[in-house]
Amino acid sequence: MSKNLFKLIDSICEAYSNKTLSPTETETYCNLAVDMICSKMGYYEFRGLTANQMIIQMENSDRWQKIDMDFAQDRANEGNLVIAGRMDSPHGHIVVVRPGLPVHSSKWNRLVPKCIHIGKNNFIDKGVNFAFIELPRFYLLK
């Protein structure tokens, strides 16, 4: 197993346990959680960005590669940083795919990767289908 895998797991656990990322009645902190995890994994270019801005950056960066959802869980299980995101107005949503086993989504009728979700309700034990209404895009840090 790779050191990056353990680093990714530790980073995800630290973000999930961070009480400052708990939602309030008016605010959620998906972008801060993703930035925190990415920073611990050595990627510092999301600091101060919204979820939509992070997605735009990944779309336009040669450091990120778009990947199919079917490969996202395997890449995370190898210790790679994989992000799922969907732009929206007034703001989008973004999560980190966590190592684990994929789960079946009855909503999308397919296997989906698990994620750490920091939003209106925080969770670490469900698939991306609980974090997004529609299929997000997936990005792999090269």
Q: Tell me: the pLDDT tens digits for 22-66?
A: 999 999 999 999 999 999 999 999 999 999 999 999 999 999 999
Number of domains in the chain: 1
Q: Which two tokens stand for residue 98?
A: 């966590």
Distance CA 35, CA 49 (A): 8
> For residue 76, what are the CA distances in angstroms to 21, 67, 79, 88, 92?
22, 12, 5, 25, 22
Q: Tell me: the pLDDT tens digits for 72-131?
A: 999 999 999 999 999 999 999 999 999 999 999 999 999 999 999 999 999 999 999 999
Position 13 pLDDT exceeds 90? yes
Full domain range(s) for residue 26 = 3-141
Q: Domain of 47: which CATH number? A: 3.90.1720.10
Distance CA 126, CA 103 (A): 8
pLDDT at 2: 87
pLDDT at 117: 98
Label residue 139 by pLDDT band (50, 70, 90): very high
Position 1 pLDDT exceeds 80? no
Q: H-helix or E-strand containing 141?
A: strand 137-141
Indicate whether this model's pTM tops 0.95: yes
Q: Which two tokens stand for residue 36?
A: 């925190």
Taking a C-beta distance cutoff of 8 angstroms, is the pair 82, 22 a contact? Answer: no
